Structure 1
Amino acid sequence: MSIGEVLAELRPDFPDTTISKLRFLEAEGLVEPRRTPSGYRKYSWEDVARLRFVLTAQRDQYLPLRVIREQLARQDAEAGPAAGRTRPALVAVGPSGEVPGRPPPVPAPAAQSRWSRTELLERSGLESSTLAEVERLGLVVADAPGWYDADAVVIASAVAGLLRHGLEVRHLRAVRAAADREVGLFAQLVAPLARQTDPAARARAAETATELVGLSQRLHAALVRSGLRPTVGR
């Protein structure tokens, strides 16, 4: 397959994937498509499977590229010569071999990236009045009048789950404030790369942002677990 055909193959499950992203992953040594005599990339089904593994590990486990590269190297060593292998069964695990525990992502048709207000309410379980309150706090923001992106669906669903446990929307002001502080901090790290005109640098900026988000979530979860341990007695 050409790089454009690979992009079309991956986009339904990974809508944020771009040709620049695929080139960046190649530059990082995570996939090695063969080249035609004229220099065009040609991907095999094994290459596509490796890309799916990398993208899934980043999206669902927030693993840094270093860890993903090590896992792929182990898979390659265990599988032996690559000849004849297609669609290998790759499973993303944590740095110590564990599958990091985290709530499953909100189910959604992967090709859809915009949601109406009605769809957002249906998928999240929020009442319209509650969503309005959530929006007033800036937890959910429409990307166009009446339309929301995939992150808004995730946020609204998480808020609905917290409310079911007895929290109130006003209690989430601190969460919004903490997130804003992290955005400001991480933006300082990513902005120098994002400002460059080189597509590879911009792709690296996106990768850095993904890794920072994942590390932040792991740190936050560990701190909350540690803080609750004396209360729950475990």
Structure 2
Amino acid sequence: MGSAASRSSGALPKLSIGQVLQRLGAEHPELTPSKIRFLEEQGLVHPARTSSGYRKFSDADVERIRTILALQRDYYLPLKVIAEHLESLDRGERPELPTPVAPRPKANGGSIFSSEAEFSREELLRRSGASRELLEQAQAASLLPRATTFTADDLNMLTALIELERSGIGPRHLRPFRTSAQHEIGLIEQALTGISRKPDSTHRHRTEAKAEELADALERVRRGLVRQSLRDRHNGR
């Protein structure tokens, strides 16, 4: 994880949002221009502006964004806590961080089937910064389970819902995503039919690895279709 840089350090601002994405995309494929703009709106990053109003980022800005994303990914910290952490770093302090949240490793290296860190309802709300109302709405929309314990995936889902809610996209708008996910599961199960019938552990590991590979490919297709549609709308097609 890169250390947070002060706003005045680093090379002169010269990078566009697209160039920032190129630098950070491999490490953080979920990063988008809207995410960077959102971080700016929240006062976490401060790009310079050209006379035409275009954002320009310095190397220090890129490192700051990398730090923010790593704190979200590894610690699941709400943005308010991340902002306080960055301010402490800017003052030259060395604030402590909680223990990173990560799936517990398994013999096969871990997968979407692996056991994950578990949180109580209260811990889930505290770590995400979400309101009880948002959690209840997410459960009503079948985006999160009605359970007493939650996983790191649930925490990641809830933090995403917080960001969407700020733009007026609530859990009720995302019900079709649940239906789409069930359709994808059907496709994956169909593709795995020949492998999953064999009971030994070697074939079970192959099944898990193949399922994760297919889930990742379907995610890339979905993301690509959304971006393609956005480009088409922008170009007036």
Give the TM-score band, short-chain normalised.
0.5 to 0.7
CA distance 1:164–1:218, shift in 2 (3 Å): same
Q: Distance in 2 between matches of 1:119 and 1:191?
A: 38
Q: 1:156 corresponds to which residue?
A: 158
Q: 1:222 corresponds to which residue?
A: 224
Q: Distance in 2 between matches of 1:174 and 1:147?
A: 25
By how many angstroms is 1:158 displaced? 1.5
Equivalent residue letter for 1:99: A
Q: 2:212 corresponds to which residue?
A: 210
Which deviates further from its counterpart, 185-194 or 205-214? 185-194
By how many angstroms is 1:129 displaced? 1.4
User: What runs of 5+ residues in structure 2 fail to find an aligned partner?
Assistant: 1-24, 32-68, 76-100, 105-115
By how many angstroms is 1:152 displaced? 1.0
Q: 2:188 corresponds to which residue?
A: 186
1:167 to 2:166 alignment: no
Q: Residue by residue, what CA displacement relative to the aligned partner does 1:150-196 show, whole Å, maximum 9, x if unpaired?
A: 22112111111111222122110111111111112212222442332
Q: Residue by residue, what CA displacement relative to the aligned partner does 1:82-139 show, whole Å, maximum 9, x if unpaired?
A: xxxxxxxxxxxxxxxx837324573232256101111211222321111111111111
- Contact preservation (8 Å) 2:139, 2:145: yes
Of 100, 120, 137, 1:116 maps to: 120
Of 195, 198, 201, 1:199 maps to: 201
* Runs of 4+ with >4 A deviation: none
Equivalent residue letter for 1:163: E
TM-score, reference length from structure 2: 0.51
Query: Higher relative contact order by CA 8 Å / sep ≥ 6: 1 or 2?
Result: 1
Equivalent residue letter for 1:114: E
By how many angstroms is 1:209 displaced? 0.7
Q: Distance in 1 between matches of 2:121 and 2:197?
A: 33
Q: Residue by residue, what CA displacement relative to the aligned partner does 1:36-71 show, whole Å, maximum 9, x if unpaired?
A: xxxxxxxxxxxxxxxxxxxxxxxxxxxxxxxxxxxx
Q: Distance in 2 between matches of 1:229 and 1:127?
A: 34
% of aligned pairs identical?
30
Q: 1:106 corresponds to which residue?
A: 73
- Contact preservation (8 Å) 1:106, 1:157: no
User: What runs of 5+ residues in structure 1 fail to find an aligned partner?
Assistant: 1-97
Q: Distance in 2 between matches of 1:147 and 1:177?
A: 24
By how many angstroms is 1:219 displaced? 0.6
TM-score, reference length from structure 1: 0.52
Equivalent residues, number: 135
